[in-house]
């Protein structure tokens, strides 16, 4: 009996020892810089919440992944390479990597341990993704910096894993929460954008939460853009104003489309309109022409669908009122728009046209698989690559300001097909679902279609479409849209089961 009591007491001593170790970890965390302490604390809280709600772990992970999109840049980059403008110059380790590990461990257990789920089947879109990864690997064969190329492939694989998990696990009940999280992202980015604009402390995303005055410091000053040299441009949680502008063009269609739908209560539509106005204010202070134009063109497209396909003619009046409110709230925006669009130096267009010719020259020499993923700037050092700008080859070159040419020069024709194939398929699916019976899925389908159209339009003059924040948003959009058909089928099955009828096989 005494031996048994001794064993019981030992159990409690183990608990005490583990608690002491945890206290030591917390003490060390509190001694770190605030932003690191905050990151560690957030990670511990997330793990604690996940353990408390272990029976809802899949739901927690899906919503946490969507919530983390604007914070995608907040991670530690290991083995970082000194390569300007590289999409991912090292191996990033942050909260999303921890969530992906947890997600696939849970999914593995559901398939092979508890056997509650079958192995997922490959769909049409998955073959394009396989072609993308294969093209990246093949492009490495002749790439001068294979390590940078490997990091670029890992960057893609992590986002594919994000897509694959959400596409197979997201449910209809998650959609409302996903909309709320996207609206939160708009408010977050706009709050930071207006703070940066008012204080001059930019680079919050680059410094991972540590604001620094780039206006008064020579270190990390913003790149001067001709025509708006004196303007402070918002970056939010991204690393560049153009990236933030692209992110806005992808998420602002959510409140824009949903506020036009008569199915929602008036107070909900009014709240959506306020969030949209705040988001447009944040978009304006990015001073990103590509972001402005891509959102303007794509939202006009969405407005046409709402009026002519959904037969909601009052949407025109709502759009006019919205435009008037934005104009009154921020009248100097017209001056900024005029200067940025019509007074920009003509040399900018000439230089970018020359960059396009250079990228086409790189692609012609590496037609099928490109020069090498992540190796565009190395190609400019090759003597047989035509560089049409009158600059010395020893200086630092900029990547071509066109995402299509940037991709095709790095990973070739097959890689570009693999990259844009899923986007086009998703847009086609969204187009077919724009008239489905479920109002939330119908609204999100048009919002995602509009956001993806904005992404493609922005890519015509912006090569940063694979930057962490908008790229994560892209793959989450693909995943959500690819799950819509499953959600609609499940809703039909549930409706038939409630009426006592059996569904006939399709």
3-state secondary structure 160-190: HHHHHHHHHHCCHHHHHHHHHHHHHHHHHHH
In terms of DSSP bridges, do strands 212-213 and 201-202 run parallel, antiparallel, or are they unpaired? antiparallel
Tokens of 463: 């090569």
Q: Is residue 237 part of a domain?
A: yes
Residues 254 and 276 in one domain: yes
Q: Is residue 296 part of a domain?
A: yes
Q: Is residue 16 part of a domain?
A: no
Residues 108 and 143 in one domain: no
User: On the CB side of 485, how many CA atoms lie within 13 Å of its CA?
Assistant: 11
Per-residue pLDDT at 250 exceeds 60: yes
Residues 413 and 491 in one domain: yes
**CA proximity to 465, closest of 399, 369, 412:** 399
407-434 pLDDT tens trace: 999 999 999 999 999 999 999 999 999 9
pLDDT band with cut points at 50, 70 and 90 for residue 25: low
Residues 118 and 131 in one domain: no
Phi, psi for residue 222 in degrees, rounded to 5: -65, 145
Tokens of 387: 């560089």
In terms of DSSP bridges, do strands 75-78 and 91-94 run parallel, antiparallel, or are they unpaired? antiparallel
Rounded distance between C-alpha atoms, residue 284 and residue 240, angstroms: 14
Partnered with residue 78 across adjacent β-strands are 91
Rounded distance between C-alpha atoms, residue 341 and residue 217, angstroms: 29
Domain count, the chain: 2
Say what the pLDDT of residue 139 is.
96
Say what the pLDDT of residue 504 is.
41
**CA proximity to 139, closest of 371, 416, 381:** 371
Residues 115 and 132 in one domain: no
Q: Is residue 239 part of a domain?
A: yes
Q: Is residue 18 part of a domain?
A: no
More confident call, 7 vs 47:
47
What is the DSSP code string of 351-420?
A: HHHHHHHHHHHHHHHTTTT-S-TT-HHHHTT-TTS---SSS-TTSPPPPPS-HHHHHHHHHHHHHHHHHH
DSSP 8-state secondary structure symbol assigned to residue 78: E
Domain limits for position 147: 127-499
Residues 242 and 93 in one domain: no
Residues 250 and 341 in one domain: yes
453-475 pLDDT tens trace: 999 999 999 999 999 999 999 99
Q: Is residue 506 part of a domain?
A: no
Residues 238 and 331 in one domain: yes
Burial class (CB in 10 A: 0-12, 13-18, 19+), 323: exposed
Residues 57 and 176 in one domain: no
Say what the pLDDT of residue 22 is.
66
Residues 200 and 65 in one domain: no
Averaged pLDDT of the chain: 84
Which residues, including other chains, have CB under 8 Å from residue 439's CB and lie 6 or more apart? 261, 263
Q: Point out the domain boundary residue: 72, 91, 123.
A: 123
Residues 227 and 359 in one domain: yes
Residues 50 and 62 in one domain: yes
Q: Is residue 216 part of a domain?
A: yes
Say what the pLDDT of residue 479 is.
97
Per-residue pLDDT at 56 exceeds 70: yes
Q: Point out the domain boundary residue: 69, 90, 123.
A: 123
348-367 pLDDT tens trace: 667 777 888 889 999 999 99
For the entire predicted model, the pTM comes to 0.87
Per-residue pLDDT at 222 exceeds 90: no
* Mean local confidence (pLDDT), 181-205: 90
**CA proximity to 73, closest of 193, 219, 207, 164:** 207
The beta strand positions in 36-166, using DSSP E, are 75-78, 91-94
Q: Point out the domain boundary residue: 123, 149, 166.
A: 123
Q: Is residue 504 part of a domain?
A: no
**CA proximity to 396, closest of 151, 85, 87:** 85
Per-residue pLDDT at 214 exceeds 50: no
For residues 283 and 245, the answer to whether their CB atoms sit within 8 Å is: yes
């Amino acid at each position: 009996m005494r031996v048994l009591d001794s064993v019981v007491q030992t159990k409690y001593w183990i608990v005490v020892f583990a608690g002491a170790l945890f206290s030591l970890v917390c003490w060390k965390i509190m001694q770190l810089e605030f932003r690191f302490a905050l990151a560690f604390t957030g990670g511990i809280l997330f793990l604690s919440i996940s353990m408390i709600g272990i029976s809802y772990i899949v739901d927690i992970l899906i919503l946490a992944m969507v919530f983390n999109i604007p914070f995608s840049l907040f991670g530690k980059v290991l083995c970082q390479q000194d390569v300007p403008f590289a999409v991912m110059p090292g191996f990033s380790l942050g909260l999303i990597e921890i969530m992906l590990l947890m997600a696939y461990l849970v999914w593995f257990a559901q398939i092979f341990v508890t056997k509650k789920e079958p192995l997922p089947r490959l769909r049409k879109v998955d073959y394009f993704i396989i072609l993308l990864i294969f093209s990246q690997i093949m492009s490495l064969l002749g790439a001068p910096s294979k390590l940078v190329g490997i990091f670029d492939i890992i960057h893609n694989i992590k986002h594919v894993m994000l897509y694959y998990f959400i596409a197979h696990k997201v449910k209809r009940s998650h959609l409302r929460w996903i909309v709320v999280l996207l609206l939160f992202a708009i408010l977050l980015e706009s709050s930071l954008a207006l703070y940066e604009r008012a204080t001059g402390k930019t680079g919050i995303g680059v410094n991972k939460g540590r604001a620094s005055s780039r206006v008064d410091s020579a270190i990390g000053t913003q790149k001067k853009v001709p025509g708006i040299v004196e303007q402070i441009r918002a970056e939010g949680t991204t690393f560049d104003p153009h990236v933030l502008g692209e992110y806005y063009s992808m998420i602002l269609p959510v409140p824009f489309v949903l506020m036009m739908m008569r199915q929602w209560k008036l107070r909900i539509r009014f709240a959506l309109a306020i969030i949209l106005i705040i988001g447009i204010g944040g978009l304006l202070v990015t001073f990103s022409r590509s972001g402005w134009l891509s959102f303007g063109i794509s939202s006009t497209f969405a407005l046409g669908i709402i009026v002519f396909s959904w037969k909601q003619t009052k949407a025109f009046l709502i759009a006019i009122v919205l435009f008037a409110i934005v104009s009154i709230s921020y009248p100097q925006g017209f001056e900024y728009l005029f200067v940025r669009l019509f007074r920009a130096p003509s040399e900018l267009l000439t230089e970018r046209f020359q960059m396009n010719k250079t990228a086409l020259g790189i692609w012609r020499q590496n037609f099928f698989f490109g020069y090498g993923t992540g190796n565009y700037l190395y190609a400019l050092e090759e003597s047989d690559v035509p560089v049409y700008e009158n600059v010395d080859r020893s200086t630092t070159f900029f990547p071509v300001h066109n995402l299509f040419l940037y991709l095709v020069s790095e990973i070739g024709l097959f890689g570009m097909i693999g990259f844009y194939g899923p986007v086009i398929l998703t847009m086609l699916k969204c187009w077919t679902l724009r008239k489905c019976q479920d109002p939330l899925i119908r609204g999100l389908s048009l919002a995602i279609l509009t956001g993806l159209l904005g992404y493609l339009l922005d890519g015509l003059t912006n090569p940063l479409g694979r930057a962490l924040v908008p790229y994560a948003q892209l793959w989450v959009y693909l995943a959500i849209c690819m799950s819509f058909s499953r959600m609609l089928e499940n809703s039909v099955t549930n409706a038939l089961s409630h009426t006592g009828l059996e569904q006939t096989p399709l």
